[in-house]
Amino acid sequence: MTGPDDAHQRLRELLGAHALGHPLDATDETALRAHLDGCAACRAELEEIAPLREALADVDAARLASPASPPPGLGGDIRDAVAAERSARAADELARRRDDWLRRRTRRVQWLGAAAMVTVLVGTGGVLLGRASVPEPPAVPYEAVALDVVDPDVTVEEAGLVPHTWGVELRFRGAGFEEGAVYRAAFVDADGTRTPAGEFLGTGAEEMVGNLQSALLRDAAPAVVVTDDSGETVLSAAL
């Protein structure tokens, strides 16, 4: 059983043939004309497609039975063009990331250079500027820490924490770190996640002073650990 919507759709599908002047069954022609008298939507659609009759007048229907074949290799050319576009985008993304890394590195080097210059000026302020013109640095809290030394060759004379508003710093004075070996420090939060605090090269028997800094705040850092290049723990402390 069909309803009004089905009847409307069937008559709507006849609009194309009617607009192009194709002959319709007499019953369909009568029904369509009567429907157009009462359906504004179909009249509007007929007005839109009616101009196609003139545009399609020169189309040779016989030629549509054998449409033109695409040139040989078109599929391969399309795939090659897509691959080249993807490669170009990947190269652009790699270049962008490299440029971003270089900009960050340049800013970091500039910052470190400025910090080093400030340190030199403060350290030699008594000679260059006069003690009276160089303000004393503000006192910072210092929390002594007992580091557990795992490597028997390493000795630590002194260690402590400096809580900053931007993170926490481990300062220590020691010797016996393998000369030229890389050591890495990290503060550990309550979940066991390690936040890097910098790295340093061992100086052998020569005493060294380390200032290792992390973005983790002091209250969120219940432990600190220093490992060697193989990941073995050298120093550690529960804070």
- State both tokens at 93: 């993304």
Helices 4-12 and 26-38 pack at an angle, to 10 degrees, of 110
Give 196's pLDDT tier (boundaries 50, 70, 90): very high
Quote the DSSP letter at residue 177. B
Three-state DSSP class for residue 141: coil
d(CA 47, CA 96): 53
> CA 162, 163, 169, 175 torsion: positive or negative?
positive
Contact 184, 210 (CB under 8 A): no
Mean pLDDT computed over every residue of the chain: 81
Three-state DSSP class for residue 180: coil
Contact 19, 46 (CB under 8 A): yes
Which residues, listed in sequence order, are joined to residue 233 by a DSSP beta bridge? 227
d(CA 97, CA 115): 27
What confidence score (pLDDT) does residue 47 get? 87
129-187 pLDDT tens trace:
444 454 555 667 889 999 999 999 999 999 999 999 999 999 999 999 999 999 999 99
202-218 pLDDT tens trace:
999 999 999 999 999 99
Task: Residue count of the chain, please give it.
Answer: 239
State the average pLDDT over residues 29-47: 87
Task: Report residue 28: phi and psi, to 5°.
Answer: -65, -40
d(CA 28, CA 6): 14
Contact 201, 181 (CB under 8 A): yes
**Alpha helices, H only, the chain:** 4-12, 15-19, 26-38, 40-49, 52-55, 74-123, 125-128
Closest C-alpha to 223, from 186, 171, 169, 172: 186
Contact 237, 146 (CB under 8 A): yes
Give, for 40, the enclosing helix (H) or strand (E). Answer: helix 40-49
